[in-house]
Amino acid sequence: MTDRTDTAVLAADSVDLVRGGRYLLRDVTLRISPGEHWVLLGANGAGKSTLLSLLGAVEHPTHGTVHVLGHQLGRVDMRELRAHIGHVNPRHRLDAPLTVTDVVLTGLTSTPEILARWEPTQGQRDRADSLIGLLGMTARADARWPNLSQGERGRALIARALMPEPSVLLLDEPATGLDVAAREQLLTALDVMRTEHPSVASVLVTHHLEEIPTTTTHAALLRDGQMLAAGPVSDVLTTSRVSECFDHPVTIGREHGRWTARSGVPVAAAPG
């Protein structure tokens, strides 16, 4: 097991990932420190979720090195490593009609359902209640999964990911399928969570700028598996860089900490 001497919780160094002779990632370098909140942006197929799978100790790189929580992939038990990573997947499959509280408690066992003969301690139940409250879900704690809205499920999954007190939280397009109100509730909950857990780093994948929380500190732009830019969010999310990333002219704006993108192509005047 190889430990890094720097303080990065996640680090990719000159990483390639090749499948079937095709490069999904090429020469990607990224370093994420405790308390930083990153957004990975890029068009569909740019490599965002692929990079997240490396950072989440799910995949190995073909070339280069990836360090997760100080340990190099390939020299560490990846299952043990994943126990210290919170992963929020909006496509989380759940067949049993568990309550919100039970769903959150499964974050301790990394299983879709409560394990037979496993009983959480009172301290663990108290933590689940606290996280459910933090995510604004106390009134729905006893509601069952099939009866939750997509937005409520998203917030419950964030609470679930936080149960094992992870050092890093990975969110793969958490606002997928949400309407405007549910999206705003989710983003507010993320901002609150980040304030209450200042040492936890996070990485959020999206291809919509309006889905970036106000507490985001850093951004990375991916195009065709390559890193175009990475660094402080205000330095990376510029009109020229985002236009290049999406291969389309857009104008980037920011108001009250939230980002917008508008087409840079003038709209032709209607005939008079």
* Boundaries of every domain in the chain: 1-84+167-272, 92-165
Amino acid code (one letter) for 218: H
Would you say the C-alpha torsion 103, 107, 112, 118 has a positive or negative sign?
negative
Residues of the chain with pLDDT under 70: 1-6, 264-272
Cα 160 from Cα 103, distance rounded (Å): 7
Strand pairing of 10-19 and 71-72? unpaired
Q: How many helices (H) and strands (E) does the chain have?
A: 8, 12
Structure confidence at residue 139 (pLDDT) = 93
pTM: 0.85
Structure confidence at residue 269 (pLDDT) = 46
3-class SS of residue 259: strand
Cα 212 from Cα 187, distance rounded (Å): 8
Place of tokens 């020469």: 27
**CATH 1.10.10.10 for domain 1-84+167-272:** no
The answer to whether 168 and 194 have CB atoms below 8 angstroms apart is no
Structure confidence at residue 265 (pLDDT) = 55
